[in-house]
Structure 1
Amino acid sequence: MTVTSSRVPKVLIVNAYVDPWRSAAPMRLFIPRAMAPYYLAGRLSRDAVDVRVYDEVHHGALLDPKLFAWPDLVVFTGLTAAFDRARQLSAYFRSANPAVGVVIGGPIARALPDLCGEVFDHVLDGDVEAFDDLIEAELGTDCLSAHPVPRFDLAGWSYGLGFVETTRNCNFRCAFCSLTGEGRAYQAYSTEEINQQLDAQGRFMMLMVLDNNFYGNNRSDFERRVAVLGERWRRGDFKGWGALVTGDFFKNPDNLAKVAANGCKALFSGVESLDPEVLKTYNKKHSLSSDPLTLGRLCAEHGILFDYGMMLDFGKQTIEEVDSQIEALLASTETPFPALLSLTIPILGTPHFAEVASAGRLMPNLRLSDLDGQKLVEWPKEPLEEVVAYLSGLLQFRGRKLAITRHAVSHAWSRRQSFDLEQTLISMIGPIARYCAGFRLGNPRQMRQTWSEPRRTFCSMTDPLSVTYRPAQRLDAKYARDFEPLYLTDEDGALTPVAMQTIQQRAYA
């Protein structure tokens, strides 16, 4: 519904999220923060629109009745598994203000365009620029920003971090990645656009590059972007920067020297698996030589902190194989422990989802919200009860918290000659905060919701629904369907029509 009132329109941009650890409290230390809402906010005129951002990761679960009644237009984004949450929140906003316009964009809209068209008023399946047409149609041309730049000022303080995006998408096609499913081209920002983003934020200490793949497939363009960041670093705009690169980055020894000479202090790479055969099944051959010990040493030689993610796949790995890898990492002082440890997620719309579905490996009564990386959703190669019991202990690090703490301290000490004080503290405190700190504090509403959550089972077949599926306030009966989970398989494990349609709509290279 077009906003025609003479008053300043109010727009709320929400990053929808449900914590797989069943906490409604904020995750202030989660890095990197979701920045898409702030890029969207930058498309709106500062003078003509009153815009706010709410990130359910950084701010915690959205439970404030006053905020539900505030906006004229609410825009949702988030990961694909957050579809149910976005739908729940839309019911709260519509109940508080029947005239509110509800928009969905990002991965959710691209994975489920038809279903989103039935649920939300507007569906944006493009990049942030697609928001412009909707702004003009719903709010008016004067509400468009003449010079759009991210509204980092709305993000508040972020522990001294600044953010920038120098490219979009990725040039690789990993089978489990949502970007592969979307099939969008890898694109680089111009030097002017990068500088505009940097100028849009206040003072900060460290810069985080938000690219899915900072390295890319164009050597000269990579060098151009490194030079842009290096120039700003030498000017004293920040103390250093970090980025995500793919495994092929490390195959050229000049790359580390180049980024280090231009202020790079940290690199993250998706090692994903220590098993070469598993990497091949993911179409991730560029990571076959990504040994975390070797890469950690190489980066340290250039004063760069190395971090990585690791995925577990019990459909391809045994408990013994996984456990031996974890123990080997803990036993190696020089090898950094992974920043992210999760199960492989068969994200809806990806080749991996289509492959496991066609092989009959998806569990029955699988919900879209189950695809959070913290519970078993595929049939394992070993007895289910044994895998679930092991997984429960591993993800909660029962009996391993002391070992991780010792490893973090020992690893930081081993790198003390290569790292500055900030890098040393990050390498030591990071693993302890990720794997040993289990309690988060939120406002009273958030804490009540957290305490009422049922116990997790770490298996999609038995894991109870989150309390978010029960309305937190009295709603009209017409909103009941907005609190029903979206199922991807039925009681026999066969795909539901929604899941089947998504596979048919996607063409994979």
Structure 2
Amino acid sequence: MRLYLVNPSNPLVSIVNFEESRWNRYRVWKPLSLMVLAGLTPSEWKIQIIDENLGAPDYAALPRPDLVGITAFTSQANRAYEVAAHFRGLGVPVVMGGIHATMCREEAMERVDALVTGEAEGIWPGVLEDALNGRLQHRYDGGLADIKDVPMARHDLLNRGYACGAIQTTRGCPLNCSFCSVTAFNGAHYRQRPVADVVRELRMISEKYVLVVDDNLVGTRREHVARAKDLFRAMAHADLGKKWFAQASINFADDEELLALAAKAGCVGVFIGFESPTPEGLREIGKKFNIQKDRDIHESVRRIQRHGILVAGSFIIGLDTDEPGVGKLIAETARRHGVDNLNALFLTPLPGTRLWDLMKSEDRIALDAFPGDWKYFTLTFPVAQYKNLSLEDIIQEMITCDWSFYSIRRILCRVWSSIWQRRKPLVSLVGNFSYRKNLRLNRKSYADFQSYVKTHVST
């Protein structure tokens, strides 16, 4: 039996266009969820994982499969349906899962043979058994999996074309920000894989650099941090030779022992969501966690960096509290915080979030010709109506923010600072020039987007 597991692409996301920028190779990670499902698949299935981020194959030239499984974020949904339609036209049953299928069930169920909602690990073997016996059901509800029983991902199935490997050690995030669908999909309960399993899987990854895809690596509570320390100790003791990046909250900076252990275990960078330069903005999105205890953000960032760990900061443009000038304010705030990289995104209402419910109730979702318009829900296009910023205004704010932070002078200053402080200057250089290279591509994308909105969206 032949099984294809497909991660669809989105041609509007410039970072996957390797031909346009060789730096993009360092910003694409493997579809880990498909690799985990492959690890759960019985040996009678011949598995091929197809990651369209490396280029979509000629499906017509491939051997006909017996079953196709597709995962998709919201921005991949339209392409996912195209792939599904191709295989269904050949009489091949298609199963779709992932966060978009879970949040937009009725839409997805109209376009595939079987739908898997929630986390699929607990029910995937049953789906395959039903497929083998010709009794595939129309819907399977996975809920939340017990990740203590999740097997090793099949890293061997995707061992070429990537600069970074990928691994997951925890699921769930207790912060529940209004714009984020993680809590709705993975729950607020913080779940951890056994430390020994994580170390064993890291040994299986061929790449030197690894992205830890956890939404919040160290959690928010004392017991979460204690577990993270145990993990880092085990990684350091195993002497894996890996360099890794992770996502965490700003409390990552609060424990010197945690930082020292992370650095010893190979941490070279951490991605932190600062989200807004103002307390009002943080309160709007439900992320007061960042300003608790009168936190000094700059000092927190420096504390992380003193351990040789780079800090990438994420901010959002388009909050109701944002006014003209917010782009420059974010760039200056990021500079004052001292972050090594800035990732500014447009406020995007994703299905399943409180933000979606609010904006939908207020008729503020500007692009709503679904499923076609899902391709713009990448967080890099302003798909909503914003309180104090017009379409032209918010795009200009983003351009101002990005070009201010990623000017050649400021990039060189940050790289020099990394050299002076012995803080991964090569990684800093790659990250900064990767972002800057794509800024030129973004200008054309914004122009095309504005043209599309003017043509297709009624005002």
Bucket of the pairwise TM-score, normalised by the shorter protein: 0.7 to 0.9
- The code of the aligned residue for 1:316 comes to T
Q: Give 1:44 shift.
A: 1.5
Cα displacement (A) at 1:291 = 6.4
Alignment partners' CA distance in 1, 2:199 and 2:411: 36
Match of 1:295 in 2: 300
Give the SS at the match of 1:20.
coil
* 1:18 match: 10
Deviations 1:165-190 (Å, cap 9, x if unpaired)?
A: 11112122111111233362331112
What is the 5 A alignment of 1:141-152?
148-152=151-155
Structure 2 match to 1:231: 234
**Is 1:113 aligned to 2:105, yes or no?**
yes
Q: Is the contact between residue 166 and residue 194 of structure 1 (CA under 8 Å) also seen in structure 2?
A: yes
Residue pair 1:456, 1:463 contacting (<8 A) in 2 also: no
TM-score for the superposition, normalised by structure 2? 0.82
Equivalent of 2:191, from 181, 187, 210? 187
Give the aligned partner of residue 327 of structure 2: 322
Distance 1:126 1:359, change over 3 A: closer
Matched, 1:200 2:204: yes
Whole-angstrom distance in 1 between the partners of 2:387 and 2:326: 12
Residue in 2 aligned with 1:435? 436
- Displacement of 1:226 after TM fit? 3.2
Root mean square deviation, CA, Å? 3.3
Secondary structure of 2:4's partner?
Answer: strand
What CA deviation, in whole Å up to 9, does each residue of 1:194-234 have, x standing for no partner? 234224334x4233322111112453354334333433333
1:109-508 matches, within 5 Å, as 109-129=101-121, 130-139=123-132, 148-157=151-160, 161-182=164-185, 184=187, 185-202=189-206, 204-288=207-291, 293-313=298-318, 315-327=320-332, 329=334, 334-338=338-342, 340-363=343-366, 365=368, 367-382=373-388, 384=390, 386-387=392-393, 390-391=396-397, 393-394=399-400, 404-419=407-422, 423-437=424-438, 456-458=448-450, 461-462=453-454
Over 3 Å counting, the alpha-carbon distance change for 1:116 and 1:437 in structure 2 is closer
* Residue equivalent to 2:146: none
Asked whether the equivalents of residues 173 and 219 of structure 2 are also in contact (C-alpha less than 8 Å), the reply is yes
The answer to whether the 8 Å contact 2:70/2:95 transfers is yes
1:328-349 CA-to-partner distances (Å, cap 9, x unmatched) read 646x6944231x2210111011
Query: C-alpha distance in 1, partners of 2:163/2:392?
Result: 44
Checking the alignment, whether the CA contact within 8 Å between 2:30 and 2:162 is kept in structure 1 is no
Runs (5+) with no aligned partner, structure 2: 19-23, 134-148
Letter in 2 for 1:90: A
Amino acid paired to 1:35:
L
* Cα gap change, 1:118 to 1:215, in 2 (>3 Å): same
Q: Which residue of 2 aligns with 1:42?
A: 39
Shift of 1:318: 1.9
Distance 1:427 1:295, change over 3 A: farther
Deviates further, 249-258 or 280-289: 249-258
Largest Rg, 1 or 2: 1
> Structure 1 stretch 206-215 or stretch 375-384: which is displaced more?
375-384
1: CA distance between counterparts of 2:260 and 2:426?
A: 23
Deviations 1:348-380 (A, max 9, x none): 111011112223332264533332222222223
* Deviation of 1:78 (Å): 1.7
Deviates more, 1:14-23 or 1:350-359: 14-23
| Paired residue total | 430
Q: Which amino acid aligns with 1:368?
A: W
Given that 1:230 and 1:263 are in contact with CA atoms closer than 8 Å, whether structure 2 keeps it comes out as no
Q: 1:81-130 deviations in whole A, cap 9, x for unaligned?
A: 322211111112223x22x1101011022101223222211111132312
**1:394 shift after superposition:** 4.2
What displacement does 1:279 show? 1.1
Give the partner amino acid of 2:453. Answer: M
Give 1:150 shift.
0.7
**Segment drifting more, 172-181 vs 430-439:** 430-439
CA 1:323/1:232 → structure 2, altered by over 3 Å: closer, same or farther? closer
Q: How far did residue 276 of structure 1 move? A: 1.5
Distance 2:166 2:272 in 1: 18
Aligned with 1:150: secondary structure?
A: coil
The amino acid of 2:155's aligned partner reads F
Paired residue type of 2:190: Y
Within 1, Cα distance between the matches of 2:397 and 2:203?
Answer: 45
Distance 2:16 2:234 in 1: 41
The CA deviation at 1:458 is: 4.3
Relative to structure 1, the CA distance from residue 393 to residue 261 in structure 2 (aligned partners, 3 Å threshold; closer, same or farther) is: closer
Residue identity opposite 2:378 in structure 1: D
SS of residue in 2 equivalent to 1:104? strand
Q: Which amino acid aligns with 1:436?
A: K
Shift of 1:462: 2.8
Among 32, 48, 52, which residue is 1:52 paired with? 48
1:91 aligns with 85
* Equivalence for 1:486: none
Relative to structure 1, the CA distance from residue 255 to residue 158 in structure 2 (aligned partners, 3 Å threshold; closer, same or farther) is farther
String of CA shifts for 1:47-75, please: whole Å, max 9, x gaps.
42211111222x134554313x5322111
Letter of the 2:27 counterpart: F
Cα distance change, pair 392–216 in 1 and its aligned pair in 2 (3 A): closer
Identical aligned residues as a percent: 22
Q: Secondary structure at the match of 2:25?
A: coil
Distance in 2 of aligned mates of 1:178 and 1:280: 18
Bigger helix fraction? 2
The offset of 1:238, in angstroms, is 1.7
CA distance in 2 between partners of 1:286 and 1:458 (Å)? 35
Q: What amino acid maps onto 1:56 in structure 2?
A: E
User: 1:77 aligned to 71, 93, 96, which one?
Assistant: 71
| Structure 1: segments with no counterpart, 5+ residues | 1-8, 141-145, 441-452, 465-489, 493-509
2:426 is paired with a residue whose SS is: helix
SS at match of 1:278: helix
TM-score (norm 1): 0.75
Q: Secondary structure at the match of 1:17?
A: coil
